[in-house]
Amino acid sequence: MAERNPGTKLELGWISKVYVNRPEVVRHAEQIKKWRTVKGNWQAAWLLKAVTCIDLTTLSGDDTPSSIHRLCFKAKHPIREDLLKALDMHDKGITVGAVCVYPARVTDAVNALKAAGCNIPVASVAAGFPSGQTPLEIKLAEIKLAVQYGAKEIDIVISRTLVLTGQWEGSDFIKTSTGKEVENATFPVGVVMMRAIKEFYWQTGYKVGFKPAGGIRTAKEAITWLMLVKEELGVEWLAPELFRLGASSLLEDIERQIFRHVTGSYPLQHDLAMA
């Protein structure tokens, strides 16, 4: 991860001056959707970059050690080896950015990745996911357990009650949503959050990461998010240390698009391994 955010003195004067021009943000978001999609080798390059920033996620009630093992295998081998060879990228060590699971499944993920001989970090949702409506003592205990089990990153669900009442919390990364809401990652929200990150960087010199999560399912959407990050925050943020895509099914479409780029046709159902 990037250098830890040590926090800063709360300046309510700074925060009170924040103004969001909602119509302009929405207009800008609509323009983003119309951006011309890159093609050919450029598209493949953007998609491989997206792969390295994915938090490959499973947050299902029926997760088991075997399903976590399959997920971790896919995390280490996100794109078929022959496809990477065709792109001359087979020796670049391309993996996803992290594997994200519930605290109870962290040990399974850590063991599976260790057995696979890779150092992909395990992230875990904690602190009362997804509502955050859990007593502080239980949140802290859940975080401590996830870390003891081997999690290197924690997606903490903040108390939105505190935020809505002006009691702000700090972070090393900020995330659009839990992915469990009716509406999750949207471009207008992303623009506002990224400009807040940029303002914080100007004020303090510390870089805060950004993670859109929930509802990102297509390769085109992934590329648009990357382009938006590049435009708003710069190339420095286009790295897993500062940018993640929270997704469970996105990788499938990215691999489909790379397969089509290499072979000229879309894969049949049996052509690509399932996570």
Residues with a known catalytic role: 155, 175, 211
CA distances from 173 to 199, 224, 240, 243, 245 (A): 14, 20, 11, 8, 12
What is the Cα Rg of the chain in Å?
19
Directed axis angle between helix 250-263 and helix 219-232, to 10°? Answer: 100
CA distances from 97 to 1, 72, 255, 267 (A): 10, 12, 16, 25
